[in-house]
């Protein structure tokens, strides 16, 4: 089932229940899908391997905005961003905990034979592909740095 099909029912439910936060987030997802489908070379369809990065980008944008609003003391706008993050994140795969991430990364480090921080590029290449959608790049990078520094 495509992402567009997955959001159809929740979108209708949000409209019926007048849930403004969910409605904003679901409409934003739908808009991003339409935008991605109409890009040159997309062929009028959104490939399944592009859905998770699209959602991750949306969550990251909202987290950045949330951080700015919190710094500026705009609790009202920060709450709206948090509501949207919660809805969008519900369509992402379950994120790895810090311990699970480190366990996976230790296996990847052993697999590629990395021994020092100079080997970070090799580890990141493999880790980014294997952990796509289950962990943010920033978290992967920080954990790899920590593990290779030991």
pLDDT at 20: 93
CA angle 140-143-146, nearest 5°?
150
Q: What is the pTM of this model?
A: 0.75
**Residues 40-44, mean pLDDT to the nearest whole number:** 76
**Which of 9-13, 28-32, 46-50, 72-76 has the least mean pLDDT?**
46-50
What are the residue ranges spanned by the domains of the chain?
3-89, 98-149
What would the two tokens of residue 114 be?
């990395």
What is d(CA 26, CA 20) in angstroms, rounded to the nearest whole number?
10
What is d(CA 68, CA 58) in angstroms, rounded to the nearest whole number?
16
pLDDT cut 70: percent of the chain above it? 100
Neighbours of 108 (CB within 10 A): 21
Q: Is the pLDDT of residue 13 over 90?
A: yes
Q: Which CATH class, in words, describes the domain spanning 3-89?
A: mainly alpha
Neighbours of 95 (CB within 10 A): 14
Place of tokens 């996976």: 104
Q: Is the pLDDT of residue 48 over 80?
A: no
pLDDT at 39: 83
One of 3.40.50.150, 2.40.30.10, 1.20.1630.10, 1.10.10.410 is the CATH number of 98-149, namely 1.10.10.410
**DSSP three-state, residue 74:** coil
**Residues 117-140, mean pLDDT to the nearest whole number:** 85
């Amino acid at each position: 089932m495509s992402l567009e099909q997955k959001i159809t029912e929740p979108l209708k439910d949000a409209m019926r229940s007048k849930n403004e936060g969910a409605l904003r987030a679901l409409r934003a997802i739908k808009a991003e899908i339409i935008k991605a489908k109409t890009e040159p070379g997309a062929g009028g369809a959104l490939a399944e391997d592009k859905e998770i990065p699209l959602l991750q980008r949306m969550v990251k944008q909202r987290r950045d905005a949330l951080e700015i609003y919190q710094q500026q003391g705009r609790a009202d706008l920060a709450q709206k961003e948090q509501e949207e993050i919660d809805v969008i994140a519900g369509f992402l795969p379950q994120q790895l905990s810090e311990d699970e991430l480190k366990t996976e990364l230790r296996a990847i480090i052993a697999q590629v034979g990395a021994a020092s921080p100079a080997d970070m590029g090799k580890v990141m290449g493999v880790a980014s592909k294997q952990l796509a959608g289950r962990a943010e790049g920033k978290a992967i990078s920080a954990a790899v740095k920590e593990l290779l520094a030991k």
